A and B are shown apart, each in its own frame.
Chain A
Amino acid sequence: MYRSQKLSLRYYTAAVTLFGVMILFGLLSALYYLYPSMLFNVFNFSTSKILHIDTLVLWLLMAFLGAVYWYLPKELEHEVVGMWLAELTFWVFCAVIAVVAVVFIFVQYGPANDFTLWFINQGRKYVEAPRWATIGVVAVMLAFAYNVIATCVKARKMTGIMWVLALDLIPLVVVYLDAFSYDRNMSTDLYWWWWLVHMWVESTWEVLIGCIMALVLMDVMGTSRRIVEAWLYIEVMLVLGAGILGLGHHYFWIGTPQYWLSIGGFFSALEPLPLLGMVVHAIYDAGSHRLKTTNRPAFFWITTEAFLNFIGAGIWGFMMTLPQINLFTHGTQWTVSHGHFAFYGAYVCGVIAVFYVAKQKTSRAGMLDGRAWKWSYALLNIGMVGMVMGLLLAGMAQAFFGRAIGGSTLMAFTTASENPWFVSGMYARMLFGLLFAAGYVVLVYDLLTSPKRVATLAMQPEPA
């Protein structure tokens, strides 16, 4: 095993741990909707939500870095250059996250001055980490970019996937720099802030996970390089064509010029079309393998990704992306429902597949299967679908009663929040959230124990 693959396992461990922290604070945040005065002025909803969302971003990012460190030496047939730097930055990354989490939990916020900005909370949604920590994240990203590019140069080898990955590193680092800037004008500030949030998640990350999935498909399904690279180039074209200007759907109501309504609506409406192509491709691949594989969990999670990406991003997104509808739905639980489903479909399923790829290789299991992964697969998927249905119900109640009937006043918001449809949706989200958490526990159990049980199964005699 390459040294960078050992580092990759550390990244996966950190990612799975943060995945658990994300779920924990997600459940806590869900409880606030049922008991709004819970922990008032002790540990407020806002802090719980920050920890839920920030750990979401961080655990996925760590898993992406881990996946790249896993495949990089294999793809280039060369150990990663600057491993000492990669290992150092891993611990820097972990330390940054731990310190920021402790500050968020125990200090939470401070007065509106430079000290707070630098050491407590930047105060900008999703990039709340104080400035020193933001500098740390940039350093980690720069080191990662160096590791990838220097390895390509040293190996004197450049595949199509590596070209795409190397080019994607530019926005991965540069767009994040937007986390430093702010403007006193709220519209201008949000205009650039969305570059960071949207461009990272719906463009840069999509290309990154596309590269990772291309490598996983070659590994798990034996798909040819020519095929996965062809699809990767198509994805890059679609990201450039629809994903970037799809940014416009965040510009509808922040004080930007009216033409963003047309641009945002048009390009967002195009987004389900490539996802339909992905569904067709997933079925073709699954069928051509007759569902036979040596790594069943990875295979099923990869296939599920295509379907849930289509449903979460495609169907859920299209329901609310046109400006006339979005006027009533933005900022409600409807958006939250779409966000949960789209993230899960686009990234989480793929990342879990990557965990199982590493598990199979490290345990040297010829065949990875068993019961536990099926339980975790079922619990996580049913939990997620239940949560997003509950959130959708609650969001529709908010849009209908609070926005369309009530006219978006504070009283209408309060009334809608007490509406039985909204409350039922919140209870459903909580219950299915617990189911999702149970799925996570089984996933961790399976990742930690599957090699032993597979080895035991392999020793059993064939039935007569």
Chain B
Amino acid sequence: MTPAALLETAVLLGLFVLAGGGYGGLYSIGRIAARPALVRAGYVCWMVALAIALTITLATPLGVGWKLLILASALVYAVIPPMTWRFLERTHTDEGLGA
């Protein structure tokens, strides 16, 4: 790994998780505030995360196994916010505490 590749890869890994977090955050705020535009912005964040995952896969010197793990993580990121949201809604509705 070259010195430049070290920093580029590390920054891409950080941005990947940041974009995933942006997706979760915007999706949730959009849902709670009933603002579909924010939910859509959340989806854009996820697409950015996917694009970063692809960039990591194609342009960094990480091992194949790690690249596959990051691609799989990108797919898991897609389902975590809606899945968590549904779970929260269901449990809160059961308790009569729905948002």
Contacts and interface: CB of A to CB of B under 8 A. Distances in A.
A288 interface: yes
A280 B1 contact: no
Contacts of B95: 224, 226-227
A90 B6 CA distance: 48
A281 B18 CA distance: 17
A358 interface: no
Contacts of B85: 280, 284
A29 interface: no
Contacts of B27: 280
Query: What are the 9 tightest A-B residue pairs by CB atom distance, in nearest-first order?
Result: A287-B32, A404-B3, A288-B99, A283-B28, A319-B14, A280-B84, A224-B95, A315-B17, A277-B84
Interface of B: 1-3, 6-7, 9-11, 13-14, 16-18, 20-21, 24-25, 27-29, 32-33, 61-63, 65-66, 69-70, 73, 76-77, 80-81, 84-85, 88, 91-92, 94-95, 97-99
Nearest to A320: B10
A310 interface: yes
B7 A400 contact: yes
A280 B97 contact: no
Contacts of A224: 91, 95, 97
A272 B94 CA distance: 29
Nearest to A271: B17
Contact of A227 (B3, B77, B91): B91
A320 B11 CA distance: 9
B16 A287 contact: no
Interface string A296-333: 00000000000000110011101110101100110000
Interface residues of A, number: 39
Interface of A: 223-224, 226-227, 230, 262, 265-266, 269, 272-273, 276-277, 279-281, 283-284, 286-288, 310-311, 314-316, 318-320, 322, 324-325, 328-329, 396, 399-400, 404-405
A224 B93 CA distance: 11
B69 A283 contact: no
A287 B95 CA distance: 17
Given A273-B73, A280-B88, A288-B97, 13 more contacts: A226-B91, A227-B91, A273-B80, A276-B24, A277-B24, A280-B85, A284-B88, A284-B92, A287-B33, A315-B17, A318-B14, A319-B11, A399-B6
Contacts, number: 120
A404 B61 CA distance: 14
A324 B63 contact: yes
12 contacts: A223-B97, A227-B95, A230-B91, A265-B69, A273-B76, A277-B84, A288-B98, A288-B99, A315-B17, A319-B13, A325-B6, A396-B7
A284 B13 contact: no
Nearest to B32: A287
B99 A284 contact: yes
A315 B21 contact: yes
B76 to A, nearest CB: 6
A293 to B, nearest CB: 15
Contacts of B20: 272, 276
B7 to A, nearest CB: 6
B3 to A, nearest CB: 4
Given A273-B73, A318-B14, A404 B2 contact: yes
A318 B16 contact: yes
B29 A322 contact: no
Contacts of A280: 24, 27-28, 80-81, 84-85, 88
B91 A404 contact: no
A316 B32 CA distance: 28
Nearest to B21: A310
Given A265-B66, A322-B62, A324-B66, A283 B10 contact: no
Contacts of A226: 91, 94-95
A400 B6 CA distance: 8
B38 to A, nearest CB: 11
Contacts of A266: 69
Contacts of B13: 318-319, 322, 325
Contacts of A311: 18, 21
A280 B95 CA distance: 19
Nearest to A319: B14
